[in-house]
Structure 1
Amino acid sequence: MLTHWQTADPGQDTLRHAVLSFLAARPDACLRACVPGHITASALVVDHTGTQTLLTLHPRFGRWLQLGGHCEESDSDMASAALREATEESGIAGLTIDPHLAALHVHPVTCSLGVPTRHLDMQFVVRAPAGAEIACSDESLDLRWWPLDALPDGTDFGLQQLADSVTGTV
């Protein structure tokens, strides 16, 4: 997927090459135990109108973020991991995913293992059906729909960049 992914953004292409090099050097890159960093999958869940996105108030970071998380052995690919995470964290039945990678983002984090590391996040866009009902999981303090063009104060660069790619403002 990442090998053939094409983007018009030079920064994203540079990041693509860096992630590919990391994957080539680390056979454990998808495992949470990979201390230098590991691959994660996230999903920008967009409502059926394409104007709102569902964000989670992350309990450890205290910020509104897109849904997502670590890969599991049962995930057949990164899109499957992103869809699984979005379904688990939102409680929404009938989500559909665009299987094409939307963006990449790398950020420092201290995972549940308590060790500082990096998430090499592969980001996807997921659509919620009309009438979608959300259910806040124990992985979130809150879930809320936000206008794509008016994300909450303090939104990090990676989420803003992902939202901009959906609204076409990149």
Structure 2
Amino acid sequence: MPTNSEVEMSPAEVDALLSEHETGVLSLARDDAPYAIPVSYGYDADDRELYLRLVSTPDSEKRAFLGSTPEARIVVYEDEDDEYASVIGVGTLNEVDLDELTPETIAQYGEARRPLFEIWADDKPDLDIALYRFSPESLTGRTVVVERDDE
């Protein structure tokens, strides 16, 4: 019968997992309503911040949640063979004022591969493409290894 061993990740291991991946799940909550979407992100390990480009339509649920300064969580995970690892960030998602962009922050958004601006530009003039910075108040990770008994 398999057993699981669970280990908390070090900050360096958390940074490594977030740096190796570019997608995760962003969950937003306001009042008693949750909202979760897959996202692509760029990660700055020095500042431990995630950078996201989010696209929404005028009547979308996403735009309604983003406009309410919701509580946010980001989950990034990997599942390989008998090992599962996940990182959870908890904090506030802040829209970035375009006047505050620097070459360094623009480079971080380049790591967020989806959505590409070009795929929306011609067909959807009502789309809102906004840049966000997620500075987690907490950033934790765990690794679970499934140990199988050889029989």
TM-score between both structures, scaled by the size of structure 1: 0.27
Q: Which has the higher contact order (CA 8 A, sep 6+)?
A: 2
Structure with greater strand percent: 2
TM-score between both structures, scaled by the size of structure 2: 0.29
